[in-house]
Structure 1
């Protein structure tokens, strides 16, 4: 199921880092050729995993030393993830800060943070909380919801109401099939359908490889439990808008057209905070920009690095 990564690009190595009451699993691209290159961390979307973005990130391995983690409740990371206790995304922010802090100590410098969807939101919050650890920030259709909308989602949850986007997504996640006989069956079930409709098949294969656990009988189950994915959609007790005002590092925002999770006024607030920032809206893109426009994302990462290097 490994498939072929971009010709000449390394596939990355699975590693782990001890934290809290478990381990953070991550993919790392580092060898003798890039050991002295700038560092880049990539944070995935809700329900995904670091390996999902292998084909996006592998071609950048000649320019960066890269890590792509599995957040708690996702992939092969074993940190506690109890849906009943999940209220906000600050747990991801705090986990990311500790993870990046350890890496910054190891490499001797701050890290560029990049993230998609939920990964973008947690990266923004981490950058605002610990600007000393972050030298740049790339946000790919981050989940930035105005505070009044977050409060409505919280009220709707208490009252058992439906109809909000958070609830629609949560209910869909709860109904997700969690068990499959094998990877080939999963690939056939996902390719060209639902959230995976616009994904290249090899990216779907990477998502499956990085996001499933093999049972004793050889069958597969989703590593990110449907209940945990649903809990993430409902857990809106954090504020991802106010931290924009605390950002110090150069940043780039790439967001989608209709259906974007980066909602007004977030793009305008980001643009006003740093007039030199790149704010790019891809009108024909869905929320899954990294799968649909990987070349654009790689270009923006390189451009952001050039801006950082130029001071």
Structure 2
């Protein structure tokens, strides 16, 4: 089922799978859309699984650049959780994982459990002084500079580091979709790198009193392992799971393994 509404002041498209009593809300990664959750959602029976297209993605309205992108996306997610009638089991992948964490920190009343799949909260490892951040920053600086000069080339760089498969072998429509949205990657940096939302401030993550599942791929970039290591140490109720053979796009490439771990979390928080 698909529906559209004004959520947090932003025209939003939402996709829903299932009609179970347990309410799951999932937030996708950069340059994707709600359909990226299809493989996971269809393997979770007995739940209602809702996923919005984040601002500028899928069939939701474009991001106008007037307000911080992360804030706009967070308001959207909060409004959707309120409309669903939380508390919800909140999931987020990559950029969506950082939004999910922010929602849980700012509105814990709306969150029953939290699943963070490779949240790209680079500020957390930067603050911790992890050596993996420096290596990541060098490659990311190249992507940022290329976005300004050649968005198509930047999309290829971005996908080949974070996506699944060779960018040149993707369908032309998918390549164009990603290319036209590379500006959204720049729009994420104030929170992901500079932490203007204060997500990584000392004591803040430690105060989240909710069960948290930290999921990552064994073959993901080293900075991801560093982020998950930092979060696992700071979150009081975290369980960290590493999926063998998986990379950053594990909700798509390893949907069955992801669904298995979510099922376990739901059972533990029944």
Output the TM-score relative to the length of structure 1: 0.68
Match of 1:64?
A: 47
1: CA distance, partners of 2:262 / 2:177:
33
Equivalent residues in 2 for 1:33-72, closer than 5 Å:
34=19, 36-60=20-44, 62-72=45-55
SS in 1 for 2:119: coil
2: CA distance, partners of 1:56 / 1:172:
33
Matched, 1:197 2:165: yes
Match of 2:77?
A: 96
- Taking a change above 3 Å as real, the CA distance of residues 233 and 268 of structure 1, as seen in their structure-2 partners, is closer
Quick check: 1:45–1:116 contact (8 Å CA) kept in 2? Answer: yes
Match of 1:135?
A: 112
SS in 1 for 2:122: coil
Q: Residues 71-111 of structure 1: CA distance to partner in whole angstroms, max 9, x if unpaired?
A: 111111115432xx46562332232112211211xxxx410
2: CA distance, partners of 1:129 / 1:146:
18
Tell me how far 1:252 sits from its aligned partner. 0.4
Aligned residues: 251
2: CA distance, partners of 1:284 / 1:14:
33
Tell me how far 1:227 sits from its aligned partner. 1.9
Matched, 1:29 2:17: yes
Say which one has the larger Rg. Answer: 1
2: CA distance, partners of 1:71 / 1:163:
25
From 230, 237, 241, give the equivalent of 2:200. Answer: 241
Q: Residues 195-250 of structure 1: CA distance to partner in whole angstroms, max 9, x if unpaired?
A: 33089x9xx78xx6xx79xxxxxxx7569622223332465343333442231221
CA root-mean-square deviation: 3.6
Match of 2:269?
A: 308
From 207, 214, 225, give the equivalent of 2:181. Answer: 225
Query: Which structure has more helix as a fraction of its residues?
Result: 2
